[in-house]
Amino acid sequence: MILLGIDPGTRFSGYAVFSQNNHALALLDYGFFALGAQSALPMRILNFHDNFDQLIKKFGIDTLAIETPFLGKNAQNFLKLGYLRGVLYLLAQKNNIKILEFSPREVKCAITGSGAADKEQVAIMICRLLPHVEKKIRSDVSDALAVGLCGAWKVAHEQRFTRL
């Protein structure tokens, strides 16, 4: 399995690519895409599509892990996130990719043991769980790593119990 964890954003989008084979998990790549904060929204959505389309093809992604959205203080941000999620659904459908979705609380609980953890606590645990990851990473990257780990652990758990 090659899994892509994504933290979508209209300015910066974090990603993490994991490989899982016989319960061995390897981090293949991680980082973020800057989508052009000064560009018009349609251009940023196109950049988002093109960047993730290339990543999917480069690694042969077969599973995608994303967080379910939550309505915060800004409805416009929620709406824009919906555009990006639509792009991810389209890419997944076109490339026969399985989508795993997790609530922010589920991801925080899986990584830190507490669904109420803040972003800094998640980043600290990511660095402990993945010691070769840079200590000072962007929050969108640590979020993508966290979502990706959550997805990889879920798949490993399901595979273990389907073999019984």
Q: Which candidate, 106, 114, 26, 113, places its Cα nearest to that of 66?
A: 106
Give CA separation, 39 vs 10, 27, 75, in Å.
10, 31, 20
- The number of beta carbons lying within 10 Å of the beta carbon of residue 136 is 6
The residue annotated as part of the active site, out of 29, 134, 140, 158, is 140
- Distance, CA of 146 to CA of 104 (rounded, Å): 10
The answer to whether 92 and 99 are in contact (CB under 8 A) is yes
Any catalytic annotation for residue 118? no
* 150/102 Cα distance (integer angstroms): 8
Catalytic residue among 67, 118, 134, 143: 67
> 24 near 1, Cβ under 8 Å?
no
Can 7 be counted among the known catalytic residues? yes
Q: How far apart are CA 27 and CA 119, in angstroms?
A: 20
Is 143 catalytic? The answer is no
Half-sphere exposure of 6 (CA within 13 A, CB side): 33
Report, as residue numbers or ranges, the catalytic residues.
7, 67, 140
